[in-house]
A and B are shown apart, each in its own frame.
Chain A
Amino acid sequence: MAATFFGEVVKAPCRAGTEDEDEEEEGRRETPEDREVRRQLARKREVRLLRRQTKTSLEVSLLEKYPCSKFIIAIGNNAVAFLSSFVTNSGVWEEVGCAKLWNEWCRTTDTIHLSPTEAFCVFYHLKSNPSVFLCQCSCYVAEDQQYQWLEKVFGSCPRKNMQITILTSRHVTEYKTSESTGSLPSPFLKALKTQNFRDPVCCSLLEQPNIVHDLPAAVLSYCQVWKIPAVLYLCYTDVMKLDLITVEAFKPILSSRTFKGLVKNIPQSTEMLKKLMTTNEIQSNIYT
């Protein structure tokens, strides 16, 4: 408490925090309306795991329902395009479910009629080997939804005898290095693995002080905590939209143990990729 020139008593700001009594009183004054709003918002942002064909929710987490030995997760449009061209085309994959979610990044405010491209993570398993799983996630999973997503997919007590591979991409300007960004050979691949991952990685490891963000980081942290062998392949690129050269930068991982047997016809896959690029190209006249 301090006195001012004009005789009024003004409470001086204290960096140690306000006195405890005041804080408790103010914090607890939450109206029923606030609670209702918060409840509605939580419901809106809920991550729901559905069986695509029946549109009913899965009662247990995905990996508790189905046994899994290998799980490949593609996050972001370039990683998804890579798996679509090289992996899902080389075998018969059956859809087992999808995760539906809404957050501020979705272009629509309608939480019920979300379009598949924006708010779905689709899960598949290989028909010839149902313990091999694949996830194509092209939507953004917000920070508060990541834990829910992990719980709904992995469950609260995951098995340790599975191997997780995560693919994602990031803009090269976020890569911290002592070299100048102009001299970086983008796109390039970096890997980050959990302690229990013993297989060789297909590229150099991500150096400090670089960090991983968003859902890939959440999955990797989860795997590290639960001692599940997992590896993340992160492609740093200078083109954030769907781009042929960025997708092709993922090619070195096709030689890893995870992808053995999953990729059959590489030239055909490259053709598929080219077709995917041309159908997705949005005409833009900004840059020439």
Chain B
Amino acid sequence: MASRYDRAITVFSPDGHLFQVEYAQEAVKKGSTAVGIRGTNIVVLGVEKKSVAKLQDERTVRKICALDDHVCMAFAGLTADARVVINRARVECQSHKLTVEDPVTVEYITRFIATLKQKYTQSNGRRPFGISALIVGFDDDGIPRLYQTDPSGTYHAWKANAIGRSAKTVREFLEKNYTEDAIADDDEAIKLAIRALLEVVQSGGKNIELAIIRRNQPLKMFSAKEIELQVTEIEKEKEEAEKKKSKKSI
């Protein structure tokens, strides 16, 4: 009898569900995939670029946004909701810096976003934000962080995670391939993110966008050429691995 308990956000169903929150999680699945990886010295965010209409300016369709110099996030779900959340988070980052004279920690800004999302699951007349976010960055202590938030307002720290369409497939890939060796090297961590995305992205490298933050360095967005280079290297490695396999079997 979901229909009786999904009208107002503030109503629990008899078996304890908040259906509007669960439906918001369905909205997240309509967004394209985003993957985040926490390496030893690097954090990587990779997203599947949405196909842009011919007359649309590509630069205005962004899934990876900087919240501050040392924190950035990728989202999946309703574009407009993301814009509102990102604006609030950016203001909070600056407000924090001015008030306590320190940049926000990644956990602080994640908690801020999660609290904001939770508020909207407990007020009448409002619906939850239909986005999940992957927030990455380095704190002052030099430790890399990756957090994920969802429409219910929960947040957790992750070593690697994926959100959006086909997130399950990507997460399974990461579970199999995330090893301490893989993430110890920066390049390997980047390749892992791209390989995870290639599992679900149709038409390969030209539909991938990538951003990295290295310790004490600002956010770097990869250009299309750089991504193509990485993809070509990955394909070469794949071929070589397959050749080795066929040699072994002979």
Instruction: Name A's B-contacting residues (CB within 8 A).
Output: 173, 181-182, 185, 238-239, 244, 281, 283, 285-288
Contacts and interface: CB of A to CB of B under 8 A. Distances in A.
Contacts, number: 36
Contacts of B51: 281, 283
A48 B12 CA distance: 47
B97 interface: no
B100 to A, nearest CB: 33
Nearest to B200: A245
A283 B53 contact: yes
Interface stretch (B26-34, B35-43, B175-183, B238-246): B26-34
Contacts of A182: 25
Interface string B71-103: 000011111101000000000000000000000
B90 to A, nearest CB: 18
A278 to B, nearest CB: 9
A244 B50 CA distance: 15
Nearest to A185: B168
Given A286-B78, A287-B78, A288-B79, A244 B26 contact: no
Give the most central of A244, A281, A288: most B CB within 10 Å. Answer: A288
12 contacts: A181-B22, A182-B25, A239-B30, A285-B61, A285-B79, A286-B79, A288-B32, A288-B61, A288-B76, A288-B78, A288-B79, A288-B82
B75 A288 contact: yes
Contacts of B214: none
A259 B37 CA distance: 44
Contacts of B80: 286
B148 to A, nearest CB: 14
A277 to B, nearest CB: 9
B70 interface: no
B202 interface: yes
Interface string B99-138: 0000000000000000000000000000000000000000
Question: Which secondary structure characterizes the binding site on chain A?
Answer: loop
A288 B80 CA distance: 9
A287 B28 CA distance: 8
Contacts of A286: 30, 78-80
Given A185-B168, A244-B202, A281-B51, 7 more contacts: A182-B25, A238-B26, A286-B30, A286-B79, A287-B32, A288-B61, A288-B78
Q: How large is the interface on B (under 10, 10 to 19, 20 to 34, 35 or more residues)?
A: 20 to 34
Contacts of A244: 202
A150 B171 CA distance: 46
B77 A287 contact: yes
Nearest to A182: B25
A252 B22 CA distance: 31
Contacts of A181: 22
A188 to B, nearest CB: 12
Given A173-B26, A238-B26, A288 B202 contact: no
Q: Which 10 residue pairs spanning A and B have beta carbons closest together?
A: A287-B30, A288-B79, A283-B53, A287-B31, A288-B31, A288-B63, A288-B50, A238-B29, A285-B79, A287-B78
A244 B79 CA distance: 23
Contacts of A185: 168
Nearest to B22: A181
Contacts of B27: 287
A244 B202 CA distance: 10
Contacts of A173: 26
Interface string B45-76: 00000110100100001010000000000011
Given A182-B25, A238-B26, A287 B168 contact: no
Contacts of A287: 27, 30-32, 77-79
A181 B21 CA distance: 13
Nearest to B25: A182
Nearest to B75: A288
Nearest to A172: B26
A173 B2 CA distance: 10
A229 to B, nearest CB: 35
A286 B77 CA distance: 8
Contacts of A239: 30
B223 to A, nearest CB: 20
A94 B76 CA distance: 45
Contacts of A283: 51, 53, 56
B72 to A, nearest CB: 15
A178 to B, nearest CB: 12
Nearest to A285: B79
A127 B195 CA distance: 46
A286 B78 CA distance: 6
A182 B202 CA distance: 23
A189 B164 CA distance: 22
